[in-house]
Each structure stands twice: as C-alpha cells, then as structure tokens.
Amino acid sequence: MPITKSKFSSLLFAAAFVSFATTSCKKTDVAAPVEENSAAQIEELRQFIITTTGEDNVTYSASAKDFVIANDANMSVADAKAYLAKSKSGQIEAGNASTEGIQHRRSYYAVAPTKAVAIKIYANSTVPAVWMAALDQAIANWNASGSLLSITRVSAPGTNVMNVTGINNGGTGVIATTYYPDYNSNVGKSCTINTYYNYLSAGQQIFAMTHELGHAFGFGHTNSTYGTLVPGSPNTDGNSIMNSVCLNWSAFTAYDLAAIRTVYPK
Ligand SMILES: [Zn+2]
C-alpha cells in the first residue's frame, strides 16, 4: 500500500520506458509519463483532508509522502488518494461542515466494526519503559470505554498490527504522531513517540497515548469543524481526551464516552 519506490527512481524508469516505446514506434497505448504526485494533486489531497477533518493546519512531507494533520496525526498519500476516490464516487457520506466551536464530531475515518473488536498493537524496544507503561494504560482506558473497541498489545509485529516506536525528535517536535485508519478501515498503521518527552509526568504520558490511540481509531481533535455532530455534544469540552492540549489523564469526559460509543457502538 505505501509507495516504496522513490520518486526519483520511478521517474528514471518512466523516462527509459517512454524512450523505448518511442523508438519501437508501436501503438501509442503507453501512458504518458505523469509525475507521481504533481503539486496540483498534492494540493487537491491537502484540501480534501482539510475539508474532511476540519483541521486547517495540514502540511505535506515530500520525503515521507505523508500529510501531517494538526501536527500530530498523519495520513499517507496513498490513503488520501483512496479516500478521495471513494468520496468522488459517492462511497463516502459527506459530513456537515461547521464553523462552530469545540464539539465532538464524527468523520468517516474509522476502523471497521469487524476489525475494531480485535485491534493489535506492537511496541518495539525503541519505546522507553515509561512510555510502554503509558501505552498499556491507554489501551486499558480504551478497553474500558464501553464501546466495541477491543485492543491488545502483542509481542510481534504483523499485518494490520499498529506499530509503536520511539525516537528523539527534540523539543521542537510534537509529543507523538499517529496515522489515521487506512482506506481499508484498518487501525492507523503506526505511532511515533518523541522520546525527548520522557520527562513528562506519568499522567501526561497516559493522556498523550490515550489521545494518540484516538487518532489511530479515527477520532480528530474535538475542536475540529467537520463531521456529523455526536448527539448531545456540548459546545465546549475542555477536558476532552481529543483536545490538542496534553493534560494529566484522569478519565474520559462524559462527552468523550458519548462520542466513542456513537462511533463504536457495542
Ligand atoms: Zn492530536
């Protein structure tokens, strides 16, 4: 699914292929060399993500072939393309865009119910012990959310197993970044923890990991403006786990739980 070939090598390949096709002078059924991700295409995808997440801070990383959504969530170009194609063919329901304030909203980024009941997470040895403990508590938090979600930490990586790693990205980096569910509605493929923040309190680390898992399950920031309003949600919920401010973990708010149970009903 991720495009592994570098843009440079695939362009070289395309150029060589076209020159062969020209000299062999056969039928012109060889597709014109199209740049893998043109600037216009990237911008179309970026605007699509802005519209469908309600986040206006969406940037593109050419080196990673990733979009970074509100600093701490990611979507690969391949997934964005697939989501956009689904949207254009009417397979995705449009949400209700809103300019109102802090609300719990659901978008169409979610793990399929058949997969939500058996989510697997693998954390390798780059994850420091303090973060491993926070991850385990975050998993326990979600498992106790009264929703369909059932998550286990497993001891080996594998297909559709979410991968958690640690790397020191320094004090200018965010605490962690996590992928949204992919276009086959699998859990987000990975979470990267910035080990610069090993010094945070245990409560903050648990909050951060619980928040990041929320992205992997398809939840955006509570103050985003896209999606269908979860019934009964208030205009403000300052302690929501999906606010983009790292608090100390105490519990999901009542409206967090309403949102989680609406998206993942038992
Ligand atoms: Zn976030």
Distance 243 CA to ligand 1 centre (A): 7
138 within some domain: yes
27 within some domain: no
Distance 86 CA to ligand 1 centre (A): 25
The model's pLDDT over 214-264, given as tens digits with 9 standing for 90+, comes to 999 988 887 666 656 666 666 678 888 988 788 999 999 988 898 888 889
192 within some domain: yes
DSSP labels, 153-191: EESS--TT-EEEEEE---TTS-SEEEEPP-TT-PPPSEE
CA 189 remoteness from chain centre = 8
3 within some domain: no
CATH number at 145 reads 3.40.390.10
Report pTM. Answer: 0.77
Q: With left for phi above 0 and alpha for psi between -120 and 50, is residue 133 left, alpha or beta?
A: alpha
Number of domains in the chain: 1
**Under 8 Å CB-to-CB from 166, ≥6 apart: which residues?**
126, 127, 128, 131, 192, 193, 194, 195
3-state secondary structure of 79: helix
Q: Which residues share a beta bridge with 66? A: 61, 76
Distance 107 CA to ligand 1 centre (A): 15
Distance 215 CA to ligand 1 centre (A): 7
60 within some domain: no
Distance 175 CA to ligand 1 centre (A): 10
Cα distances (Å, whole numbers) of residue 177 to 11, 18, 75, 166, 254:
30, 40, 10, 11, 25
> When comparing pLDDT for 59 and 220, which is higher?
59
181 within some domain: yes
Per the structure, the complete domain to which residue 194 belongs is given by: 101-263
Cα distances (Å, whole numbers) of residue 232 to 74, 138, 254, 258:
29, 25, 11, 8
**Average pLDDT for residues 25-48, to the nearest whole number?**
70
Distance 73 CA to ligand 1 centre (A): 6
**Under 8 Å CB-to-CB from 216, ≥6 apart: which residues?**
162, 178, 179, 180, 181, 187, 188, 191
CA 147 remoteness from chain centre = 20
Dist. CA 132–CA 209, nearest whole Å? 10
Q: What is the DSSP letter of 89?
A: T
Distance 186 CA to ligand 1 centre (A): 19
57 within some domain: no
**Under 8 Å CB-to-CB from 3, ≥6 apart: which residues?**
36, 65, 77, 78
229 within some domain: yes
The model's pLDDT over 175-213, given as tens digits with 9 standing for 90+, comes to 999 999 999 999 999 999 999 999 999 999 999 999 999
> When comparing pLDDT for 98 and 34, which is higher?
34
